[in-house]
Amino acid sequence: MTHLHLAVALDGAGWHPAAWREPSARPDELFTAGYWVDLARSAERGLADLITIEDSFGLQSTDFRGPDGHNDHVRGRLDAVQIAARVAPATHHIGLVPTALVTHTEPFHVSKAIATLDYVSRGRAGVRTQISPRAVDGDHVGRRYIPDFDPAEPPTPEVVEVVDELFDEAGEYVEVIRRLWDSWEDGAEIRDAATGRFVDRNRLHHIDFHGRHLSVKGPSITPRPPQGQPVVAALAHAAPGLRNRPIRFAAGHADLVLVTPYDRADAVDLVGAVHRAGPAAHVFADIVTFLDRPGETGAERRARLDALDGNEFGSDAYVFAGSVAALADLLADWQRTGLSGFRLRPGALPDDLNLIVDSLVPELQARGLRRRSYEADTLRGLLGLARPENRYAATTQGALV
């Protein structure tokens, strides 16, 4: 059987809202560099392909429409791209994929931030692109109107139109950042002190992008990243009433599509929907994990955390609570649906991450499903993606002559 890819999703103290109250949690360190370095190093010790880092424009909330009044959940976060940039020098092999909110930011800024991350990490950067459909997030910026709506209710025509526009804009956004990464050809920097030529202007290109939502001239101020094109990822929820726009956006613009099947049959449907919608190279399934450990099962830990929180934990992704062997069985079975990998969301950090690294990964290795060492130095290499040719190479169109 082909090796499956493995990613770890990092967010706060873990995906359960009461995880910060675990004895092993480090709530006083959530806003320190050392906390994130330690998590990334643990994931790298487990030979994970990549970590993702969550981000948002508004405070975390159980209520999509705004603050939920909780003072017993983690609130506040550091900037995901900045975390990745700090983690990069402290790691050596693992891919670093921070979340970038594309609705209220500029693609020029994000393109150079991720290109810089690719340089700092020596070719291990990616970016998870995400729209911001919440009205409260838009209120922080004040540049556009987003209607207040409840995603649990059938979307109104106005909501469908607005979300459609957000995904259209996100598609243009990804196209712009990809073109900006190519706006410097490989070798554009000459650095010839004798002749006084630092850059070959014929190898820098205006991208001259003009879309419905964005107009960007370029070129970037950052030379082409080491990977040529850092990996673009996107989460593709099935969205009834929204014409599956998340799937169409992710499949059409991302190298790595993340899906959230609730069972094996749903995984089959989602993998098929992604491949029908676009040329995405990889499809990973998200799974929240609560793994058994000596003295406590994963189900017991989940129930204990539920009791602390006063609510039963739920997620947009499949929630697994059980043994390492049972999770390995599930991953092997779901891989046969066409999934090329999985993004595991640890229920509690660092406990469930350590169980993934020290118990699940050896189990998968014993079954021949996981690598025993890193075989590539870049994220594209780990994912089996070739370094792409520069779209502007061998042409003078748009060159700064």
Q: How far apart are CA 276 and CA 215, in angstroms?
A: 29
pLDDT at 330: 98
List, run by run, the mean pLDDT of 10-residue segments along the chain (401 residues).
Answer: 91 97 97 98 98 93 83 94 98 98 96 98 98 87 83 85 93 98 95 91 95 96 98 87 84 97 96 93 97 97 97 96 98 97 98 98 97 97 97 74 56
Q: How far apart are CA 83 and CA 34, in angstroms?
A: 10
Q: Count Cβ atoms within 10 A of the Cβ of residue 86 and give its class: 0-12 exposed, 13-18 middle, 19 or more buried.
A: middle
Q: What is the pTM of this model?
A: 0.95
DSSP characters over 235-267: E----TTTTTHHHHHHHHH-SEEEE--SSHHHH
pLDDT at 243: 65
Count of beta carbons in the 10 Å neighbourhood of residue 283: 25
pLDDT at 13: 97
pLDDT at 240: 66
pLDDT at 144: 82
Please, what sign has the CA dihedral across residues 338, 343, 347, 352?
positive
Cross-strand partners of 293:
296
Q: How many helices (H) and strands (E) does the chain have?
A: 12, 13
Long-range interactions of 172-175: CB distance < 8 A, separation 24+ = 172/209, 172/211, 172/212, 172/213, 172/214, 173/102, 173/107, 173/110, 173/129, 173/213, 173/214, 174/102, 174/129, 174/232, 174/253, 174/254, 175/209, 175/211, 175/253
Q: Count Cβ atoms within 10 A of the Cβ of residue 312 and give its class: 0-12 exposed, 13-18 middle, 19 or more buried.
A: exposed
Query: What's the CATH class of domain 5-144+227-372?
Result: alpha beta
Please, are residues 7 and 13 in contact by the beta-carbon 8 Å criterion?
no
Domain boundaries, the chain: 5-144+227-372
